[in-house]
Amino acid sequence: MQRIFDLILRYKEHILFLGLLFISLSLLLLGDINKIGGFRTLVIASIGWFQKNVFLIPNVSALKSENSALRELNFFLSQRVMNARISEIENQALKNLLGLKQRVDAPFEVAQVVGSVTIDMRNYIILDKGLKFGIDKYMTVRNDAGLVGSVVISSDNYSLVEIILNAKVKVPAMNLRNGVLGTINWDGANRLLFRDVPKFVDVKIGDTIVTSKHSLKYIPYVPIGTVVSVESEEGELFAVIGVKPFVNFSLLEEVFVIKKVIDPEIVTLINKYEQFIMNTNLPPDKSQKLKPREIMEKKKALDSLKRIKAGEK
């Protein structure tokens, strides 16, 4: 009995093949299509159960083929997921752009950031549009998140924008919740400071800081950032208020230049005053040598004249 069982196991594929062949030929001779269809299902289910429970040796070739097909499917699905993610980001950007059109009451120009530069310890970005597109000095620059900076100079095809991440830039700002006024200034690290706010004024973590109506360089109500810390130092009148900017300046690609500037007369006045400041800060001309003796003689003569006038009285 054992020898017969071993013989069956050795030639199991041949025996199964002959049995199935005999059944197939029998069904073909009968010619009943319905019986063939039903029996086909029964045979497939039986073979599956038989291979699972009796044939313990796996089919290596079939497994390799299946793994290869699964890897191809995973690659295809990963590409689909990535494409869906990209589409989601693009759709969100379009939604933000449409929302911006509804919020801004002034025309604007979309521009691409093509470079960055540091001049005299100040940070700037370069835009790919200039005077030909109506971009000029003192125009506010922002993206869908919030304030980026202000245009300082433009050529026909490019513009230079001074961003707010500059230690020398001060932005008039206010707390949107209660209208508390202050000044936004970069601390030189990774945050902004809401300065000139007394310690007793109500400012809370989570408050939104926007540009104020008193700014001459920035249009009002442009989001700047969120208050992340409020500290009071001993002996100081003003609080130290940290603000996290809404804009990620390391990922700036596309910005919106708001085509709204202050009154040209105010611009002229500011330019005249800036020129005056520059002239007063010029170093003395080295060709003009001071003459202390002449200065002392003129002073003595003036003092003598004052004494004579005093004696006449």
Average pLDDT, the chain: 77
Local confidence band at 144 (pLDDT 50, 70, 90 cut-offs): confident
Do residues 113 and 123 lie in contact, with contact meaning Cβ atoms separated by under 8 Å? no
pTM (whole model) above 0.85:
no
Q: pLDDT at position 157, please?
A: 92
**pLDDT tens, position by position, 157-208:** 999 999 999 888 899 999 988 889 999 999 877 789 999 998 889 899 999 9
pLDDT higher than 80, residue 274: no
Percent of all residues in the chain with a pLDDT value above 70, rounded to a whole number = 67
Region of poorest pLDDT, from 97-101, 161-165, 237-241, 262-266: 97-101
46-103 pLDDT, tens digit each: 666 666 665 555 566 666 677 667 766 765 676 677 677 667 777 777 777 666 555 5
pLDDT score, position 154: 92
